Structure 1
Amino acid sequence: MGLAALAACAAPLPARPVRQHPSAAPAAPAAPTATASAEGTPAPGSTSTLPLTSPTPGGAPAASGRRRSTAPFSLLGAVWDDARSPLNAVLRVRTRDRAKRIWTPWQTLRPEDHGKSGPGTGKKQVRGYTSPLWVGPSDGVQVSVGEPPGGGTLPSGLHLALIDPGNPAQQPAIAGGPPSWLLLLPTAAASPSGRPYTVPRPEIVTRAGWKADESLRRKAPIYAPSVKMVFVHHTDNPNGYDCSQVPEMIRAMYQYHVTELAWDDIGYNFLVDRCGTIYEGRAGGVDRPVVGGHTMGFNIGSMGIAAIGDFRAGHKVPKAMTDSIARLAAWKLSLVGVSPTGKAAMVSQDSATRYPRGTRVVLNAVSGHRDAVQTECPGDALYAALPGIRAAAARLIRAGAHPH
């Protein structure tokens, strides 16, 4: 179902480079005269920014209230200079549909908790940010910035990042991969070296399949000795997206993570959409223990799977999604003999997590993001589904180890 929906992205395109964000500092918004390329025509991704605080002392709201025309964008998020500074305000946005020319209802941008650095870690301070919000092709925005309570101030550098994922050229096929336009890694019963898998590798859309611009990546992949456990996340996007939009959504998330948050690559190792399609996330090889950027303090030795959507209480988690998460977890954990219903011993690398740096922590082999970090992720609904995902993954491993 999900793979069929991706047929909209099938046409090969001539090469054209993707424009990178010129600066991490807030800048004037792109000229509203900018227009999107015709459908099917190659176009670079881009980022424009809208300052949300005035340059005067005190951090007063600067862009709250009026509707603004903007350069084309499909995803937005708020970013500020120092993650240790609280947002201190409720940010609400509404956007103008580029095709229908109508304004959406108001939506709230929710700050993330896992970017904060602990005291005395000695590392470079990271930026504060909200979860990126996918709004679809848009060319206008209106922002409501609530007054900070108790006379507080807004964080310095607070700005709205407007991300256009563009329509980049099809990337070259990965060596050894299929020649199809989708660049899908098909279900496989054995590794490239011929070693049989206990659990077949599920179908995975590669980075080339979702047209990742590899020039955006800041560093080469880093590898852990092995993957001992899985952290499950949600992306906190609205759930009504069409699965044919997912490659664009992932490109926009990738751009947000790298150009706005200054991460090395997209944070997640894998992403799964509501149709059950699995996507390769961070570069480095789907069968290798790539260190991601998804669970602060616990990235080494873990794998991050992001469920694309909002799975707080009251939101239904699609069965196709949980089935695919179980298949992916079963395959990956079976490579190192870890039971999905077992435990994993991890060591916290950051005191801004639930555990001081250096603490040995025993976690479920398939855990939620909130088990390690002070966050609501992956939402109450998806968190409640984790026992079923663990059990399903364990059944797949047992079936592979003892085929009838």
Structure 2
Amino acid sequence: MTAPENIQRARVARRTLLGASAGGVLLGGLAAATLPTAAHAAPAPRCYTRTEWSARPPKSATQVIAKPDHIVIHHTASPNVTDYSLAAAYKVQHWIQDLHMDTNGWIDIGNQLTISRGGFLMEGRSKSLSAINNGQNVLGAQTANQNSHTIGIEHEGIYVTENVTVALFDMSVLTCAWLCTKYGLDPHAAIVGHRDYNTTECPGDVFYARLPELRDRVAAVI
């Protein structure tokens, strides 16, 4: 075989290998298409830590638990403010924590993550961010009787009759894609509304009606 023929065969073999890998050739008994890869991993969005928004310390130790199997979408039922700044995001996060700790009597803010109307993502309950990055979760207080296997995202505002902001919805897509990647979840099965578990209007009729769109967009990202 001549040198040009060797080069051509090598090129064909390389293209064949790459094409087969992308299409699902078996590797170690599993289809390659089912294996998570860096190319398909959703990057972590910018998340403002508890230190950054000056969270109060929890009343007692936070419990780190196994990874969740569902992502619960909430709204805060607070006013739909038009101040979309980071300062406003910090303000609503303090309001949530004070409500949960002082009125509800919980050890800390109940949810693991919060997204403001300006699209800022913030860490909620203590140790949430480190737990997520390690493929774990923290025991929250965001979905009654379902906290042992769920992670909750609060979305600032009330969406019974009004729509969510573009910035909030876009960040929800990125956040859910990141969580689905971290936990190996199917967004069409994993992303649910608070009302799917408890008797509540949360996350509001308008936002709830957009959950199919949220799931589809997350799936497109990952």
TM-score range, shorter chain: 0.7 to 0.9
Q: Which amino acid aligns with 2:172?
A: I
2:165 and 2:92 map into 1 onto residues whose CA distance is: 18
1:392 and 1:209 map into 2 onto residues whose CA distance is: 29
Number of equivalences = 178
Once the two structures are superposed, residues 243-289 of structure 1 have per-residue CA deviations (whole angstroms, 9 ceiling, x without a partner) of: 33221221122122112221011011111111111111111131231
Q: Counterpart in 1 of 2:138?
A: 290
Once the two structures are superposed, residues 5-26 of structure 1 have per-residue CA deviations (whole angstroms, 9 ceiling, x without a partner) of: xxxxxxxxxxxxxxxxxxxxxx
Contact in 2 for aligned 1:228/1:333 (Cα 8 Å):
no
1:119-268 to 2 correspondence within 5 Å? 198-214=41-57, 217-243=58-84, 244-268=87-111
Once the two structures are superposed, residues 151-201 of structure 1 have per-residue CA deviations (whole angstroms, 9 ceiling, x without a partner) of: xxxxxxxxxxxxxxxxxxxxxxxxxxxxxxxxxxxxxxxxxxxx9581101
2:53 and 2:75 map into 1 onto residues whose CA distance is: 19
1:248 and 1:323 map into 2 onto residues whose CA distance is: 21
1:335 aligns with 2:185: no
1:307 aligns with 2:155: yes
1:338 and 1:240 map into 2 onto residues whose CA distance is: 32
Higher relative contact order (CA 8 A, sep 6+): 2
Contact in 1 for aligned 2:81/2:117 (Cα 8 Å):
no
Q: Counterpart in 2 of 1:281?
A: 124
Once the two structures are superposed, residues 102-143 of structure 1 have per-residue CA deviations (whole angstroms, 9 ceiling, x without a partner) of: xxxxxxxxxxxxxxxxxxxxxxxxxxxxxxxxxxxxxxxxxx
Contact in 2 for aligned 1:227/1:333 (Cα 8 Å):
no
1:375 aligns with 2:200: yes
Q: Counterpart in 2 of 1:143?
A: none
3-state secondary structure, aligned to 1:231: strand
Q: Counterpart in 2 of 1:323?
A: 170
1:209 and 1:388 map into 2 onto residues whose CA distance is: 31
Q: Counterpart in 2 of 1:170?
A: none
Q: Counterpart in 2 of 1:65?
A: none
- In terms of fraction of residues, the more helix-rich structure is 2
1:348-363 to 2 correspondence within 5 Å? none
3-state secondary structure, aligned to 1:303: strand
Give the C-alpha shift of residue 223 in structure 1.
2.3
1:257 and 1:337 map into 2 onto residues whose CA distance is: 30
Q: Counterpart in 2 of 1:396?
A: 221
Once the two structures are superposed, residues 353-399 of structure 1 have per-residue CA deviations (whole angstroms, 9 ceiling, x without a partner) of: xxxxxxxxxxxx101000000111100011011111111111111xx
CA RMSD of aligned residues (A): 1.6
Q: Which amino acid aligns with 1:395?
A: A
3-state secondary structure, aligned to 2:218: helix
Contact in 2 for aligned 1:269/1:304 (Cα 8 Å):
yes
Q: Which amino acid aligns with 1:330?
A: A
Runs of 4+ in 1 over 6 A off after TM superposition: none
1:336 and 1:246 map into 2 onto residues whose CA distance is: 26
TM-score, with length taken from structure 2: 0.76
Q: Counterpart in 1 of 2:29?
A: none
3-state secondary structure, aligned to 1:295: coil
2:60 and 2:218 map into 1 onto residues whose CA distance is: 33
TM-score, with length taken from structure 1: 0.43
2:90 and 2:80 map into 1 onto residues whose CA distance is: 15
Unaligned runs of 5+ in 2: 1-36
3-state secondary structure, aligned to 1:220: coil
- In terms of fraction of residues, the more strand-rich structure is 1
Give the C-alpha shift of residue 241 in structure 1.
4.3
Q: Which amino acid aligns with 1:253?
A: I
Q: Counterpart in 2 of 1:353?
A: none
1:241 and 1:319 map into 2 onto residues whose CA distance is: 13
